[in-house]
Amino acid sequence: MPATFVRGRLGLVGLLVVAASLAASVSGCSSAIRGTDWKAQKAYGVRMAKRGFWREALFRFQKAAAQHPEDAEVQNDLAVAYESVGETSNALGAYKKALELAPNESHIKRNYARFAEYYTATQRAASAPSGPTH
């Protein structure tokens, strides 16, 4: 066998080993997220929200809320994510649920108050007459 053929085959085998190692490490990371651990879903959602990936954050908070619906923090995070993607009616529902679960949490009350002010102004603007028509 020529030396270049052996080197080429060893290079290919080495490349396949590296690719398999990378695939295993990536699947290991995502399996923690895909799993049933609502805390991992929530934590990943927070990371995505901090990076501005609100759709992904919303998806993760929805998964966390489905697995642990009685957690006020998850409901608050879900509400903020809904608000960030423009789903105001869903945001309102999630804020109300968060307040129901933790009526004395000041940051949830503050988030809801800020949202309610915006939501009310938006609803008023939507129902206001559009002006004179000729």
Q: Which amino acid is at 68?
A: H
For residue range 59-111, list pLDDT tens digits in order.
Answer: 999 999 999 999 999 999 999 999 999 999 999 999 999 999 999 999 999 99
CATH topology classification for 36-126: 1.25.40
Q: How many CA atoms lie less than 13 Å away from 90 in the CB half-sphere? A: 14
2 band by pLDDT with thresholds 50, 70 and 90: low
Q: Is the pLDDT of residue 36 over 90?
A: no
Percentage above 70 pLDDT, the chain: 70
Question: Would you list the DSSP string of 38-96?
Answer: HHHHHHHHHHHHHTT-HHHHHHHHHHHHHH-TT-HHHHHHHHHHHHHTT-HHHHHHHHH
What residue segments make up the domains of the chain, in order of their start? 1-34, 36-126
Residue 69: both structure tokens together: 């619906």
